Amino acid sequence: MYSIRLSGIELRDPFVIASGIVPDVPEYMARVCQEFSPSAITTKTFTLNPLEPHKPPTLVKISDGCFLNAIGLGNPGIKVMGSMEVPCNLFVSVGGSSLEEIVETAIIGEGKASLIEINLSSPNRRGYGADTAKFVREIVKEVKGKVRKPIFVKLGPWDNVVDLAGKALEGGADGLTLINTVKGMKLDVDAGKPVLSYGTGGVSGRCIHPLAVRVIGEVYSEYSAQIIGTGGVFSWEDAMELFLAGATAVGVGSAILERGFEVLNELRVGLTAFMEEKGINLSDVIGMAVRK
Amino acid sequence: MYSIRLSGIELRDPFVIASGIVPDVPEYMARVCQEFSPSAITTKTFTLNPLEPHKPPTLVKISDGCFLNAIGLGNPGIKVMGSMEVPCNLFVSVGGSSLEEIVETAIIGEGKASLIEINLSSPNRRGYGADTAKFVREIVKEVKGKVRKPIFVKLGPWDNVVDLAGKALEGGADGLTLINTVKGMKLDVDAGKPVLSYGTGGVSGRCIHPLAVRVIGEVYSEYSAQIIGTGGVFSWEDAMELFLAGATAVGVGSAILERGFEVLNELRVGLTAFMEEKGINLSDVIGMAVRK
Amino acid sequence: MIRSKVVEYSEVGKSHRIVFTFQGRRPLPGQFIALILPGEKEIPLGVTDYNDSTIEVYVDSPKLFKRILSSRYVVLEGPFGKPIPMGNTLGVATEDLFHDVLFPLREAKRKGFEASLECWGSCGADFPHREGVKWDVVVASVPREMLDKLPRSTMVYVRWVNMNCMAGVCGVCQVNGNLACVDGPFLELRKIVA
Amino acid sequence: MIRSKVVEYSEVGKSHRIVFTFQGRRPLPGQFIALILPGEKEIPLGVTDYNDSTIEVYVDSPKLFKRILSSRYVVLEGPFGKPIPMGNTLGVATEDLFHDVLFPLREAKRKGFEASLECWGSCGADFPHREGVKWDVVVASVPREMLDKLPRSTMVYVRWVNMNCMAGVCGVCQVNGNLACVDGPFLELRKIVA
């Protein structure tokens, strides 16, 4: 009833783990797969070569259900994926500071991936993420030419996101992941300086949920594209809002930080109960609230 | 110790009431002045002619300390100000759908104003607010040519806000009010449609505070302009973050909706205690966290 | 937004009494809540009682009552408005509106004060009380045209203004410069007829 | 971010015991918190007790202790990590590390279980207990090179990994595929030496 097809990939339920949550420790990822059966794990974003994370503090909770992080895409480089055996769908998140790097990373990442998610929207490292989004059409086109797995592009809640989503789709993207974190800052009033060592960070969680609903709604109503909706999903109701706005699948991130992977099951149970009571399928509701 | 000068206006404390909170009912405004002594009330945004607010629901609480509203600049027209006798500083917020309308509204509004705040950033009415921001330099220049009171421009947390702030200052603005609400949407999962009649709305309150800190910090570090900081100030610590980021005064909005005008006094008491303990003046901390 | 479910309901005269779950701030006597019909409207509802995360209201419209019963949940907002002071409390109401004064009377009793309902007609509740009590608070809900029959110090439930935009930011709930949705819904009679 | 103030402090051996206010989720035995030095670093601190919104920790570094005492408040995060199971609990620790096992032992006692501290050296606390108890849980904090002296089922406080990026998202707290900052800081010995 609530299994979905995301760009040809069968997912037993619509809840995937968003990027940046499960660290790239293969045994740990495997255990998450076995214990919590996520329909997919989106990996942390890999770059071609190892990238040091920013210095701590890199992650703080700023209010109920809201986090601020600036890990800065720190990762051991995509090549570690070669030896990674993880018994569930992997959505491999890739990034880089140039078109060439992203393409090469995607090619290597494809091996273990069910889907490639190109992260063009991290606000937390200059030259990467958000700074590369303006080349989205070219990047997607190049990656599509070299990689056969479905390509999703993760964009931020920017003023031109509908525009960029259109360019991603023109370039051949199979879908979009919306939204990345919102650039914010937390200051310590005693020290008189930022709490995170990087200064600014990305706000995630409850604080950005209404923004995610709006952005997904705008993009879906324009293109009816396949969307992995991410942004502050803590309850099945939050997820349902993203489905109604146009998401086909939903990524869960901050809720896992706050409550653990068990939240996945709460979401499944809640969503199932609602759909059974209403007598509907998930496909009936996708985009329903914004369809023109 | 914490009285401030905002563009030549003496304010006994740095906490002003943000726009959109106190309705344009003169007797009520007068009572708020007498009972709570705000250093200034920013009026709801006036346009030249009356504007019907959107149909209800126009305002809902979406999570702890966060609201979503789409009043849509509904107001009885600036002319009602003529008979308004309010015994405290009024920051008169003006808007419109054209340069001419805004100028004319500002001219009429000047009579009772200590300061004119041009609202170019409401996300809640097409053709007004955010849609007029691209003409910010011209608008400010025209208004400055006709009005002698200080002119502040209220901008939203957009990707080009530093740019637009620069244009406002080039046009002659005396300062900036940052930030307006963030465009979001809340859906009802049972009805499958938006909760607000307008569909989308502006998110205010706690949810947008880290965004306000970041935007104020970016604008201040670029121009060292005078800034009225608004966005999710519920406690003196929240306010202090805005001061550290560069705000000279702080607007309080959602906190009043949630806790009443009494919150103004809590803010004053908390801030005073902190500054006394630290042995500092407010002017020592403004922009401290972002000064280059 | 508070998602609430119906816990209990009954017919009382021409009105319907509904008890909802209420995971919100505890309302105090004199306050009201709003029922949100998504994308359609908001409807102010006086609170007639509160007990352990359930809230009691009266719904006069049969159509609205039916709609509430057929919904999986309703969306409530609030509480809004200003609590009335506690003390020996006299309620005055016509028979269709007596529910507006129930919460102040009930809470007064629970707090050990005297309470009485002076009903203009036949109301669905009564409160035993000592004779010769001095009333600290008089609350009333009567049609607007009957206001002249009330003592000047009465706190009157202002039913005839538009309570939309509950927190008062639109100013539509104004009555002689008072905001019925912020300072009310019970406003002193002298403020209303001033 | 939890802004906390020092409520009480004392010297215990070479370490310092500090009690902070703690307006956060109640920590359970086996969990830890992080002290955030804004823009500088984060420092994991085992929780040694919790009582009515105050949290007790031990700070070994004299420099850090001094800095904490001279601050208006400190910023704490957490609790993080996985609570250990409750039952009759034996703690094993060297004298400098005994505080790592205090909370499990104290909470076991409070819940009516037996608890005992086997101290390798001279520790700053002791727990009276019946003879011949069957221990359900053995928790230990000892230097890494002494691990081979512990039974395989012992849950060991993993002190030698980088606990930064507390929620585990960076993966730096990894020990043989286990995340000490998520599944720990007490990890079963067999997982550590595997």
What single string gives the DSSP state of each residue in C40-109?
TEEEEEEEEEEETTEEEEEE--HHHHHHHHTSS-EEEEEEES-PPPPSSEEEEEETTTGGGGHHHHHHHH
> Which residues make beta-bridge pairs with D8?
D19
The span from the CA of A104 to the CA of A118, in Å, is 12
C107 contacts: CB under 8 Å, gap ≥ 6: C28, C29, C86
The answer to whether the Cβ–Cβ distance between A158 and B159 falls below 8 Å is: yes
List D residues 59-88 in contact with B (Cβ-Cβ < 8 A): 72
Nearest to B229 by CA among B41, B15, B28, B4: B15
Q: Which residues of A touch B240 (CB under 8 A)?
A: 187, 189
Nearest to B189 among A64, A183, A244 (CB): A244
Taking the CA of residue A278 and the nearest CA in chain C, the distance in Å comes to: 9
Taking the CA of residue A189 and the nearest CA in chain D, the distance in Å comes to: 10
Specify the residue for token string 């499958």: B192
pLDDT computed for residue A248 by the predictor: 97
Nearest to D46 by CA among D83, D9, D71, D72: D83
The model's confidence at residue C194, banded by pLDDT at 50, 70 and 90, is: low
The answer to whether the Cβ–Cβ distance between C3 and A277 falls below 8 Å is: no
The answer to whether the Cβ–Cβ distance between C177 and B56 falls below 8 Å is: no
The interface predicted TM-score of the complex, written ipTM, equals 0.91
The answer to whether the Cβ–Cβ distance between D72 and B237 falls below 8 Å is: no
Q: Which CATH architecture fits B4-285? A: Alpha-Beta Barrel (3.20)
Average pLDDT, stretch D78-85?
Answer: 93
The model's confidence at residue C13, banded by pLDDT at 50, 70 and 90, is: confident
Output the CA–CA distances (angstroms, integers) from residue B239 to A146, B231, B235, C79, in the order listed: 51, 9, 6, 27
Check pLDDT > 70 for residue C49. yes
The answer to whether the Cβ–Cβ distance between A158 and B160 falls below 8 Å is: no
pLDDT computed for residue D166 by the predictor: 63
Average pLDDT, stretch C2-11?
Answer: 94
What is the tens place of the pLDDT at every residue in C146-184? Answer: 888 888 889 999 988 888 776 778 778 888 888 888 888
What is the tens place of the pLDDT at every residue in D159-190? Answer: 888 887 767 787 788 888 888 888 889 999 98
Nearest to B59 among C73, C75, C169 (CB): C169
3-state secondary structure chain B: CCCEEECCEEECCCEEECCCCCCCCHHHHHHHHHHHCCCCEECCCECCCCECCCCCCCEEEEECCEEEECCCCCECCHHHHHHCCCCCCEEEEECCCCHHHHHHHHHHHHCCCCEEEEECCCCCCCCCHHHHHHHHHHHHHHHHHHCCCCEEEEECCCCCHHHHHHHHHHCCCCEEEECCCEEEECEECCCCEECCCCCEEEEEEHHHHHHHHHHHHHHHHHHCCCEEEECCCCCHHHHHHHHHHCCCEEEECHHHHHHCCHHHHHHHHHHHHHHHHHCCCHHHHCCCCCCC
The span from the CA of D97 to the CA of D94, in Å, is 5
What is the tens place of the pLDDT at every residue in D22-57? Answer: 999 999 999 999 999 999 999 999 999 999 999 999
Nearest to B86 by CA among B25, B17, B44, B45: B25
Specify the residue for token string 């409850």: A206
Nearest to B71 among C37, C39, C170 (CB): C170
- At residue D135, what is the residue type? W
φ, ψ of residue B46 in degrees (nearest 5): -100, 145
Q: Is C3 on the interface with A (CB under 8 A)?
A: yes
Q: Is B237 on the interface with D (CB under 8 A)?
A: yes
Residue B124 assigned ligand-binding role: no
Q: What is the pLDDT along chain A (292 residues), one digit of tens a residue?
A: 678 899 999 999 999 999 999 998 889 999 999 999 999 999 999 999 999 989 999 999 999 999 999 998 889 999 988 888 899 999 999 999 999 999 999 999 999 999 999 999 998 898 887 788 999 999 999 999 999 999 999 999 999 999 999 999 999 999 999 999 999 999 999 999 999 999 999 999 999 999 999 999 999 999 999 999 999 999 999 999 999 999 999 999 999 999 999 999 999 999 999 999 999 999 999 999 998 6
pLDDT computed for residue D48 by the predictor: 95
Classify domain C2-80 at the CATH class level.
mainly beta
What is the tens place of the pLDDT at every residue in B37-78? Answer: 999 999 999 999 999 989 999 999 999 999 999 998 889 999
CB distance A200 to B214 below 8 Å: yes
Active site residue B122: yes
**Residues of A forming the active site:** 122
The answer to whether the Cβ–Cβ distance between D169 and A60 falls below 8 Å is: no
Q: Is B23 on the interface with C (CB under 8 A)?
A: yes
Q: Give A82-85 contacts, CB < 8 A, sequence gap 24+.
A: A82/A108, A82/A111, A83/A26, A84/A24, A84/A26, A84/A29, A84/A112, A85/A26, A85/A30
Check pLDDT > 80 for residue D10. yes
User: Which of these is catalytic: B122, B224, B235, B283?
Assistant: B122
Return the partners of chain C (3 or more C-beta pairs < 8 Å): A, B
Domain ranges of chain D: 2-80, 89-193
pLDDT computed for residue C166 by the predictor: 63
Token couple for C193? 């007829």
Token couple for C34? 């709003």
The answer to whether the Cβ–Cβ distance between A187 and B64 falls below 8 Å is: no
CB distance A82 to A88 below 8 Å: no
Nearest to A210 among B62, B206, B274 (CB): B62
The span from the CA of D162 to the CA of A276, in Å, is 46
Check pLDDT > 70 for residue D1. yes
Weakly modelled stretches of chain B, pLDDT under 70: 1, 292
Check pLDDT > 70 for residue C22. yes
Q: Checking phi first, is residue D121 left (phi over 0); if not, alpha (psi -120 to 50) or beta? A: left
